[in-house]
Amino acid sequence: MLETIAVILIILWLLGLVSAYTMGGFIHILLVIAVVMILLRLIRR
pLDDT in tens, 9-45: 778 777 766 665 556 667 677 778 888 888 888 898 7
Q: Who contacts 17 (Cβ-Cβ below 8 Å, separation ≥6)?
A: 27
Residue 34 Cα to chain centre, angstroms? 4
Distance CA(18)–CA(32), nearest Å, equals 18
Q: Specify the pLDDT at position 2.
A: 73
Give the count of beta carbons closer than 10 Å to the beta carbon of residue 31.
18
Distance CA(17)–CA(29), nearest Å, equals 13
Phi, then psi, of 23 in degrees rounded to 5: -105, -5
Say how many domains are in the chain: 1
**Residue 28 sits in which domain range?**
2-44
pTM for this one?
A: 0.50
